[in-house]
Amino acid sequence: MRLYINIDHVATVRQARMTIEPDPVRAAVLAELGGADGITVHQRIDRRHISPRDVELLMQTIRTGLNLEISSRERMVDFAVGVAPKAVTLVPESRQEVTTEGGLDLGAAEVRQSVATAIERLVDEGIRTSLFIDPDNEAIDHAAALEADAVELHTGEYANGSTSQEKADELGRLARAAEHAHDAGLAVHAGHGLTYENVVPVAALPRIEELNIGHSVVSRAIFTGLERAVRDMRTIVDAAPSRVARPGEWIHPIGF
């Protein structure tokens, strides 16, 4: 399982004072030392946290790979092509949202058209493409038809489930979606809302090969330091398959 750490929140703290610290580039180095397989940042159109300067310096600094989240708008794709990260994950973006709120609406023809144009350009540049979608078959079929390399299944509904039944239902949905995406020839990633407490059943799903985790790790890092926070997540994720007897039934490896 690849563990990508999203460091947007480090930039959010910096932007709270419009200053130069904490620097997400330093955070990325510590995340790598803690065992991250890659670094994820979301370059939003409004630049509310990560800036083009961050992305450019991350490309020069990190030793793993950068997964750049962007909307499929032309100017963001232009930016991504200029940066040439290892991977681009296309996400929906609206101005008012606090964070990405759901997967791409690939049922809408204009969204599909915009994503198709973006994928074509990114593929020409040798950049791996992933589409952030809700875990449903229709979206997966659209992603396969668009010839994306991967889908990132939105785990927010699972994470927000308020009862164990709701969580189990959402986990089942993720498991079926992961199988369907794999059968359609897509690599399967997952992310959003994953924490030290809820990650194990998702990390244990056989078809999922990459997780993107931000908020929970950066939150813990305030108390433990980032390198340690990433290492703890790494330990949990790596132990996950052997820890799940049945979905919903697992033992925490480091005893939270």
Total number of residues that touch ligand PXP (CB under 6 A): 19
For residues 71 to 100, the per-residue mask of contacts with ligand PXP, x marking binding by CB under 6 A and - elsewhere, is ------------------x-x-------xx
Contacts with ligand PXP, 3-42, as mask; x by CB under 6 A? ---x-x---------------------------------x
Least Å distance between CB 219 and ligand PXP?
Answer: 9
Q: Which is nearer to ligand PXP, 43 or 216 (CB)?
A: 216
Catalytic residue among 9, 32, 69, 93: 69
Which one, 194 or 236, has the nearer CB to ligand PXP?
A: 194
* DSSP assignment string, the chain: -EEEEE-HHHHHHHHHHTSS-S-HHHHHHHHHHTT-SEEEEE--TT-SS--HHHHHHHHHH-SS-EEEEE-S-HHHHHHHHHH--SEEEE----TT-SS--S---TTSHHHHHHHHHHHHHHHHTT-EEEEEE-S-HHHHHHHHHTT-SEEEEE-HHHHH--SHHHHHHHHHHHHHHHHHHHHTT-EEEEESS--TTTHHHHHT-TTEEEEEE-HHHHHHHHHH-HHHHHHHHHHHHHHHHHHEEETTEE--TT--
Question: Which of residues 89 and 129 has its CB atom nearest to ligand PXP in the complex?
Answer: 89
42 catalytic per annotation: yes
Give yes or no for residue 152 binding ligand PXP (CB under 6 A).
yes
192 has catalytic annotation: yes
Under the binding rule (CB under 6 A), the answer on residue 157 touching ligand PXP is no
